[in-house]
Amino acid sequence: MLKKIKYFFKGFMGSFKARSTEFIEFEERELENIFAVLLMGSFIGIPSPPTTLLMRIMPHMVREIYVMQRRAVDMDDMIGEMAGLMDIE
């Protein structure tokens, strides 16, 4: 019984925590996206930073490039994402 209550609270707190960072996570993803887009700008025609600098940081950019890609895929459903964030079902 006690275990169940413990689980319940853990789940409750977990969801609470997740909700509390939702906005910051959104902001984080946006920043990561911008960072990656700035670096890969030559693909979409905006000036790139020094090629040598790019070469040095690209190997560590797995996450940011992934986020950028997801962002590009979800681009057609921006309203959906905003609605989700604002709790509009």
Partner 1 sequence: MRNYLKPQKKFRVIFFIGKGGVGKTTTSAAVASYLASEGYKTLIVSLDPAHNLGDAFIMQLGDRPEEISKNLFAMELDMEKVIKSYLHHLEDSMKYMYRYLTVINLEKYFEVLSYSPGIEEYATLEAIRDILKEGDRWDIIVFDTPPTGLTLRVLALPEIAKIWSEKLIDIRRRILDKRLTIEKIQGERKFVIEGKEYKLPSREEEDEVLKELINYKMEVEEVLKTITSDERTSVVAVMNPEMLALYETERAKESLIKFNIPLNLIVINKVINLDVNIPQLKVKMNTQREVLKEISQKFKNIDMIRIPMYEKEPRGFERLKELGKLIVEVG
Question: Of 64, 5, 74, which is closest to residue 32 (Cα–Cα)?
Answer: 64
Q: Write the binding mask 14 to 53 for partner 1: x where contact by CB under 8 A, - elsewhere.
A: ---xx-xx--xx-xx--xx-xx--xxx-xx----xxxxxx
CB-nearer residue toward partner 1: 4 or 51 = 51
Backbone phi, psi, residue 61, to 5°: -105, 25
Give me the helix-helix angle, 78-86 and 2-39, nearest 10°: 140
Q: Does the footprint of partner 1 cover residue 61 (CB under 8 A)?
A: yes
Among 41, 30, 39, 42, which Cα is nearest to 67's? Answer: 30
Number of residues that bind partner 1 (CB under 8 A): 36
| Shortest spacing between CB 63 and partner 1, in angstroms | 5
Q: Which of 29, 49, 30 is nearest to 39 (CA)?
A: 49
Q: Applying CB under 8 A, which residues contact partner 1?
A: 17-18, 20-21, 24-25, 27-28, 31-32, 34-35, 38-40, 42-43, 48-53, 55-63, 65-66, 69, 72
